[in-house]
Amino acid sequence: MKGIIFRALEDLVVAQHGMQTWDSILDKVNLSDRYYLGPKSYPDEELFSIVTEIGSILNVELPVLIRSFGEYLFGYLAKSHADIVSQFQTFESLIEGIDGVIHKEVKKLYQEPNLPSILVTTIDDKTLKVIYDSPRKLCFCSEGLIYGAASHFGIQVDIEHPKCTHHGADVCELIVRKTA
């Protein structure tokens, strides 16, 4: 996992709960480093340990926590990489451009980014089907990223998650519907 993801998580925790909470979380988990550099890779297990500890401290279920982090992460990444996000004029074009444009740009910026596979199909003018495939099983983060993207474009969406790797499916299927 790239350091920028850890930095975004730190930023969120510190903004909402203070630096002392972040430090206490890091004290409780086994880490290779306490300071994360954006382009450097760190073990996925570290992120999962930190998120698990946050969930325990805040008494929040992991899917809810990871979804909330994903929503925050979109805004964090949109600020850090405004040049990439500005290529898209609509919510739909951004979602449809995840694999072909965004992930292509991420690969230019970071070595070995280990990105999920995202396949988007337009069902109708208000509905997209997103197939998320990754051994990391961070589909809840993807849901949050989609909510964050919708917010960025000033729209609201509902997401159904009829197939999920956490429940035995080979890939996750997200049905994204514009509601307003």
Q: Kindly state whether residues 53 and 91 are assigned to the same domain.
A: no
| Within-domain flag for 169 | yes
- Choose the weakest-confidence range: 2-6, 68-72, 93-97, 127-131: 2-6
Q: What is the pLDDT of residue 180?
A: 67
| Within-domain flag for 116 | yes
Query: Could you tell me the residue range of the domain that residue 93 belongs to?
Result: 87-178
| Within-domain flag for 66 | no
Q: Kindly state whether residues 121 and 173 are assigned to the same domain.
A: yes
Which pTM was predicted? 0.92
Could you report the per-residue pLDDT of 165-176, keeping only the tens digit for each?
999 999 999 999
Q: Kindly state whether residues 101 and 173 are assigned to the same domain.
A: yes
Q: Kindly state whether residues 98 and 37 are assigned to the same domain.
A: no
Q: Give the C-alpha separation, 37 to 126, whole Å.
A: 39
Domain count for the chain, please give it: 2
- Choose the weakest-confidence range: 66-70, 80-84, 127-131, 171-175: 80-84
Q: Kindly state whether residues 91 and 147 are assigned to the same domain.
A: yes
What residues does 172 pair with on adjacent strands?
132
Q: Kindly state whether residues 157 and 102 are assigned to the same domain.
A: yes
